[in-house]
Chains A and B, each alone.
Chain A
Amino acid sequence: MTDVTLVRETARPAMREPTQWERLRSNRDWLGFWFMVPAMGILTLFLGYPLFLGVWLSFTDTKIGRAGKFIGLENYEWLLDDRIFWLSVTNTLIYTIVASAAKFAIGLYLALLLNKHMPFKAIIRAIVLIPFIVPTVLSAIAFWWIYDSQFSIISWALRKAGWITTNINFLGDPWNARWATIFANVWRGIPFVAITLLAGLQTVSPSLYEAATLDGASGWQRFRYITYPILTPIIAVVMTFSVLFTFTDFQLIWALTRGGPVNATHLMATLSYQRAILGGNMGEGAAIATAMIPFLLFAVLVSWFGLQRRKWQQGVGND
């Protein structure tokens, strides 16, 4: 009997207070944190480190093949007086604003069109996606040919039609080159906008449109008062991504113009690459790249506030 009692007494410790660590380990609030740790590790390694290194490099005079030393804001001071840098900023802003606006307008129009019942809907949707599927460099090369000063199909067609007599100098003239690159970017970016907005449109219940029709709304009013407000959160997401992608565009410009003619199409990303990798001035290139961060941050903040869950999306009462 005594033995049995003893065994029971030693089994008791299960009842002791859990230690701080044990509590932390099983606490539901902390559980989420534990699950996040691996993802945070990966993000730190592959996003945080390069970002930090880039920003750090911008404060040094590192050149390729030579470790630099800390020089403070000198790179930025140089950039302030650099006309080409400011030209690239202007170019980037024009490129981003014009291309994003065009992508939004055309993408929304296409989405509305594809949301209607029409023959061959599936095939047309697939066709719309093509520009998105083709690798950027491949489509850039295609555009390069389309814009070629001698072999351009556009120039050829217009000449045959008798509308022009000499070939258009698409990529040789500063403004022509700007519009040409913007056009290529818009062509490539539309499917993303159109398909995402289409997905959003399809979540709108058809009975809302029927109710609005019975309430006396015209086609435009249905769009203005029903479709657009309900679609706003999705528009905010799509346009944030679209703006970020456009602002940081590199491939298309590099394959088409390499920033030419005379820096007319240089974006901040291409200029940064040119200075850092081709020119070897890692510090200066990093400074240009770092200068993009405030713009991107601004775009993200705008969409953050645009994206904030609106009152009508919340499930709980507001009283």
Chain B
Amino acid sequence: MASVDIKDVRKSYGPVEVLHGVSVPIKNGEFVVLVGPSGCGKSTLLRMIAGLESITGGTVSIGDRVVNNIHPKERDIAMVFQNYALYPHMTVEDNMAFSLKLKGTDKATIKAQVDKAAGILGLGKLLDRYPRQLSGGQRQRVAMGRAIVRDPQVFLFDEPLSNLDAKLRVAMRAEIKELHQRLKTTTIYVTHDQIEAMTMADKIVVMHDGDIEQIGAPLDLYDHPQNQFVAGFIGSPSMNFIPGTLKGGVVETASGAKLPLGKASTAGEGRAVTYGVRPEHFTIADDGVDAEVIVVEPTGSETQLVAKMAGHDIVAIFRERYDFKPGQKVKLKPQADVVHLFDKESGKRI
């Protein structure tokens, strides 16, 4: 186990810079998720930590050792790949034992280590199988087993669940989290799925276009997004944004609708802002804002509503079972104390 320190790391491919100096401190034993849309540089950053990509600028330290120029195999890390990268010609046992065999570990120790890892992951009966004879979830587990056997300082996961079906993904998510709670090894996990990030991470790093947008605990990002990008990226369905201007303690939209503000800043009368409200922060109230129902999606546990409010499509979610009809007029009231305000130009939180 070790801490990982990423300081002002840059990556360029020729003249194109894809990472513009990112810094992430990672504490010993922490589960950190790098999340962002495709092409944001999260996988590149992970591969640089692994040593599979060279580092153009800045430093990556594992423990108190700068590893910029240290060979991947000397970094004492293990990585789980998106396609698992299991050796097709080796059995599950050989796949897991490979790194130890290369190290010249004696057979008894290898056997003990592999059996231990197989026990943790429930792979005991599959040790003689070849990867092709395994299901997606089993392959995923073997890939993790291969990482566990080495007892590394840091686990790296590169979108490990994206090849699994939705149900299995939820199950494996819990398994990985449980594994981390059990082994307490520092883990860096890359995903584009914000739900995975929210459910698994101790700390989330939201990346966008080669920059870090925000670092924080999952609920912290949810409750206090630093900018419009994070606000829109975290949470599903995503936050509703309505442009307007600050006027007399409310946000007035172009159509004249007045959106209430609670404690949110009222400084800067006449300032152009974006009003952000999460789908679950609407209530039906007589003093609400006029909206017209477009689509109703009952899921059983909740009712999801797509409506037109002040000329914008918004999504609202209610725990109650409302019987809305398309075209129906409703009054939706944003909960003023939990709405978010962003500067229209910079997208920064106000």
In the complex, the chain B residue whose C-beta lies closest to that of A317 is B133
Bound form: Cα–Cα A315–B128 in Å: 14
Bound form: Cα–Cα A155–B341 in Å: 86
B185 → chain A, closest Cβ, in Å? 15
Residues A213 and B73 in contact in the complex (CB < 8 Å), given A207-B85, A312-B130: yes
Query: Hey, which chain A residues are within 8 Å of B72, CB to CB?
Result: 213-214
Bound form: Cα–Cα A230–B88 in Å: 8
Which residues of chain B in 80-96 are interfacial with respect to chain A, using CB atoms and an 8 Å cutoff? 81-83, 85, 87-90
B147 → chain A, closest Cβ, in Å? 9
Query: Hey, which chain A residues are within 8 Å of B78, CB to CB?
Result: 214
Query: Which of A211, A212, A311, A316: most chain B CB closer than 10 A?
Result: A211
B1 → chain A, closest Cβ, in Å? 18
B246 at interface, CB cutoff 8 A: no
Contact A311 B130 (CB under 8 A): yes
Q: Could you mark each residue 196-219 of chain A with 1 if its beta carbon is under 8 Å from any beta carbon of chain B, else 0?
A: 000000000101101111111100
B56 at interface, CB cutoff 8 A: no
Query: Hey, which chain A residues are within 8 Å of B132, CB to CB?
Result: 312-315
Residues A211 and B129 in contact in the complex (CB < 8 Å), given A225-B98, A229-B89, A312-B88: no
Residues A215 and B98 in contact in the complex (CB < 8 Å), given A207-B83, A312-B132, A317-B129: yes
Bound form: Cα–Cα A212–B95 in Å: 10
Query: Hey, which chain B residues are within 8 Å of A229, CB to CB?
Result: 89
Interface size class of B (residues with CB under 8 A): 20 to 34
Q: Could you mark each residue 82-114 of chain B with 1 if its beta carbon is under 8 Å from any beta carbon of chain A, else 0?
A: 110101111000000011001100000000000
In the complex, the chain A residue whose C-beta lies closest to that of B125 is A319
Choose among B77, B81, B90 the residue that contacts A312 (Cβ–Cβ < 8 A): B90
A99 → chain B, closest Cβ, in Å? 29
Query: Hey, which chain A residues are within 8 Å of B82, CB to CB?
Result: 207
Query: Hey, which chain A residues are within 8 Å of B73, CB to CB?
Result: 213-217
Q: Could you mark each residue 281-317 of chain A with 1 if its beta carbon is under 8 Å from any beta carbon of chain B, else 0?
A: 0000000000000000000000000000011111111
Query: Which of A310, A311, A312: most chain B CB closer than 10 A?
Result: A312
Contact B85 A205 (CB under 8 A): yes
Contact B102 A216 (CB under 8 A): yes
In the complex, the chain A residue whose C-beta lies closest to that of B80 is A211
Query: Hey, which chain B residues are within 8 Å of A216, CB to CB?
Result: 73, 99, 102-103
Contact B133 A207 (CB under 8 A): no
Bound form: Cα–Cα A216–B146 in Å: 12
A230 → chain B, closest Cβ, in Å? 6
B52 at interface, CB cutoff 8 A: yes
A251 at interface, CB cutoff 8 A: no
Query: Hey, which chain A residues are within 8 Å of B51, CB to CB?
Result: 213-214
B50 at interface, CB cutoff 8 A: yes
A318 at interface, CB cutoff 8 A: yes
B79 at interface, CB cutoff 8 A: yes
Bound form: Cα–Cα A56–B69 in Å: 71
Contact B85 A230 (CB under 8 A): no
Contact A210 B52 (CB under 8 A): yes
B76 → chain A, closest Cβ, in Å? 10
Contact B89 A211 (CB under 8 A): no
In the complex, the chain A residue whose C-beta lies closest to that of B147 is A214
Interface size class of A (residues with CB under 8 A): 20 to 34
Chain A contact surface mostly: helix
Bound form: Cα–Cα A226–B98 in Å: 11
Bound form: Cα–Cα A313–B82 in Å: 21
Bound form: Cα–Cα A313–B102 in Å: 24
Query: Hey, which chain A residues are within 8 Å of B150, CB to CB?
Result: 215
A166 at interface, CB cutoff 8 A: no
Bound form: Cα–Cα A225–B101 in Å: 11
In the complex, the chain A residue whose C-beta lies closest to that of B128 is A318
Bound form: Cα–Cα A230–B86 in Å: 12
Bound form: Cα–Cα A212–B78 in Å: 11
Bound form: Cα–Cα A216–B99 in Å: 6
Bound form: Cα–Cα A316–B77 in Å: 33
In the complex, the chain B residue whose C-beta lies closest to that of A230 is B89
Bound form: Cα–Cα A217–B101 in Å: 10
A221 at interface, CB cutoff 8 A: yes
Bound form: Cα–Cα A108–B131 in Å: 27
In the complex, the chain B residue whose C-beta lies closest to that of A318 is B133
Query: Hey, which chain A residues are within 8 Å of B79, CB to CB?
Result: 210-211, 214
Residues A214 and B88 in contact in the complex (CB < 8 Å), given A312-B132, A315-B132: no
Choose among A210, A221, A318 the residue that contacts B102 (Cβ–Cβ < 8 A): A221
A29 → chain B, closest Cβ, in Å? 27
In the complex, the chain B residue whose C-beta lies closest to that of A213 is B72
Contact B102 A213 (CB under 8 A): no
Query: Hey, which chain A residues are within 8 Å of B90, CB to CB?
Result: 312
Bound form: Cα–Cα A125–B214 in Å: 47
A210 → chain B, closest Cβ, in Å? 5
In the complex, the chain B residue whose C-beta lies closest to that of A232 is B89
Query: Hey, which chain B residues are within 8 Å of A217, CB to CB?
Result: 73, 98, 102
Contact B102 A211 (CB under 8 A): no
Contact A211 B88 (CB under 8 A): no
B100 → chain A, closest Cβ, in Å? 9
In the complex, the chain A residue whose C-beta lies closest to that of B71 is A213
A240 → chain B, closest Cβ, in Å? 20
- 20 CB contacts below 8 A, A to B, read A207-B83, A207-B85, A208-B85, A210-B79, A210-B85, A213-B51, A214-B78, A216-B73, A221-B102, A225-B87, A225-B98, A226-B87, A230-B88, A310-B89, A312-B88, A312-B131, A314-B130, A314-B132, A314-B133, A318-B130
The 8 lowest CB-CB distance pairs between A and B, nearest first, are A215-B99, A207-B85, A211-B85, A216-B73, A312-B130, A229-B89, A312-B89, A216-B102
Interface contacts beyond A214-B79, A217-B73: sample of 18 additional A-B pairs, CB < 8 Å, sorted by A: A205-B83, A210-B50, A210-B52, A211-B85, A213-B51, A213-B72, A214-B52, A214-B78, A215-B73, A225-B87, A225-B98, A312-B88, A312-B89, A313-B88, A314-B132, A316-B133, A318-B128, A318-B130
The residues of B with any CB-CB pair to A shorter than 8 Å are: 50-52, 72-73, 77-79, 81-83, 85, 87-90, 98-99, 102-103, 128-133, 146, 150
